[in-house]
Amino acid sequence: MEIVFATNNAHKLREVQAVLGDGFTLSTPRDCGITEEIPEEQETLEGNASQKSHYIHDRTGRNCFADDTGLEVAALGGAPGVHSARYATDGHDFAANNRLLLKNLEGVT
């Protein structure tokens, strides 16, 4: 069975393919001709995953699934959550994100 996995991350694709085994063949959005950035505009990780899978299905009619990951810190009310990759900046600056997270955790118990 072929399924579209809403990622263009080759490492993630290999990991999931290994878990699914030989009964499934994963393809990517690029494999389906989707080259644009897939929107992630929801307020929850689940919402973003749902939005991505619907986006692909609406354009291809193919079975698909998606994930979205983020760090949710209870002491910060779930922050950074869906904003984990861009917590400190507009880009994916992991060091800046970590510094801001540690700063925001100062004095929090």
Q: How many helices (H) and strands (E) does the chain have?
A: 3, 3
Token pair belonging to 45? 């990780």
Nearest to 45 by CA among 71, 9, 13, 77: 71
Selecting among 22, 58, 68, 93, the annotated active-site residue is: 68
Q: Is 67 annotated in the active site? A: no
- Tell me the catalytic residues: 68
